[in-house]
Amino acid sequence: MKLPQEVIRAKRDGETLDEATIAGFIAGLTDGGVTEGQAAAFAMAVYFRGLSLDERVALTRAMTESGTVLRWDLPGPVLDKHSTGGIGDAVSLVLAPMVAACGGYVPMISGRGLGHTGGTLDKLESIAGYDAMPGLDAFRRVVAETGCAIIGQTGDLAPADKRLYAIRDVTGTVESLDLITASILSKKLAAGLDGLVMDVKTGSGAFMGTLDAARALAESIVGVATGAGMRTVALITDMDAPLASAAGNAVEVAYAVDYLTGRKREPRFRAVTLALAAEMLVIGGLAADTAEATGRLEEALAAGRAAERFERMVVGLGGPSGFLEGSTALLPAAPVIRAVLPEQPGVVAGVATREIGLAVIGLGGGRSRPQDGIDHAVGFSGLVRPGDAVGAEAPLGMVHARDEGAADVAAAALRAAYRVGADAPEIADAILERVG
């Protein structure tokens, strides 16, 4: 095995690393032979120099094989969806039970907040008792009994990625196409999936800010995953505004509950969720085409079967029974909740979406360091979108804060994130492209 510093030096200088060298470095990352500083330097070298397709495949394979690779024996296809991250992206919370209600099995291994984006695990841990890090036996049981389980990476599944993921979050290397590809696919391959649907976001709230960058990532993921024998499709979706009207942890869980129970189903969130879930059903052979799949998914929502699967997942992973009915009382609430008015009336012409994510972190709803705790109660709700009218009676949103001072700072950040004008802007489609 080459010394870690020699591997870093080689990649820093633009050399191509062979499979054995990459495997040795990742083994050191797993067993502690590679320090945190060395891992950070490697990530930065990859960020600037990039990886070839062969290097990308080798890195993905090494990270997958750094721990347990699951095998399933279930009466339906094992499917998953993964998002590259955005603001107000609560899709996983509703999509997993929707697909489960249609006959799929969704063992979803999700992450915590990364950079300016929220993390599905942080959202679910807003639910008292929810065990986001169960053992593999409990994970298997809940998937088999419920059809879905959303958990974090245990020490058994792609442990090398778990360590590198936390380092990327705080070293400015989150956006690396190569590291994103390897991180996502190592977890998904370790989960033993039959098929995967990727949600690659682009726009002001996405890691891939341009359509070209999002397309490159989508093609990278589809290419590496398909080469590894896992059927994969990617949708490129718009993130030039928060997808849901909520951004935070408990506020997004409350939003998901409203969606599952039918109290609120916003059109854009619905469009993205149905498109991704429909692709999953088609990949899994549960529908002949996306039109049939969409009909099945909408029927599962209307009949309450998707909501019932979510409830069973929450209970199966340690959360309270009756959560859907009692979520308002069971979720943590911020002491200060108040409207954020625009500086002037008008129509929302644009949103600096990333700044909203950073404002959530400023409230305490995200992390600046891997070891930081978070405040699950804080964030924003009722966020408006481009084309919406705002004014004295129509706020930009509601801030949920721990105290008045934090609310003042967050309100100022939210105002700065919105551009208000006289005319409605042209609105991009929610689904921009399909790759695969």
Tokens matching residue 343: 């500086």
Instruction: Find the largest Cα–Cα distance for the chain.
Output: 65
How many other CB atoms are there within 10 angstroms of residue 335's CB atom? 13
Residues identified as active-site = 80-83, 120, 168, 183, 187-188
Determine contact, residues 44/7, Cβ cutoff 8 Å. no
What residues pair up with 346 in beta bridges, in sequence order?
390
3-state helix, strand, coil in the chain (%, to 5): 45, 15, 35
Nearest alpha carbon to residue 223 among 23, 17, 52: 52
DSSP helix/strand/coil, 132: coil
Instruction: Report the Cα 393 to chain-centroid distance in Å.
Output: 33
Alpha-carbon Rg for the chain, nearest whole angstrom, is: 21
What span, in angstroms and rounded, lies between the C-alpha atoms of 88 and 83? 12
> What's 427's DSSP letter?
P
Tokens matching residue 234: 């990617």
Nearest alpha carbon to residue 314 among 128, 66, 114, 130: 130
Sequence-separated (6 or more) residues with CB below 8 Å from residue 436: 218, 222, 226, 232, 233, 234
What span, in angstroms and rounded, lies between the C-alpha atoms of 147 and 325? 21
Q: Which ranges of 262-361 does DSSP label H, i.e. alpha helix?
A: 267-283, 290-302, 305-316, 323-330, 353-360
Rounded to 5 degrees, φ, ψ at 194 are -90, -30
What span, in angstroms and rounded, lies between the C-alpha atoms of 359 and 413? 6
Q: Please report the DSSP string for 211-229 in residue order.
A: HHHHHHHHHHHHHHHHHTT
Strands 231-238 and 379-381: unpaired
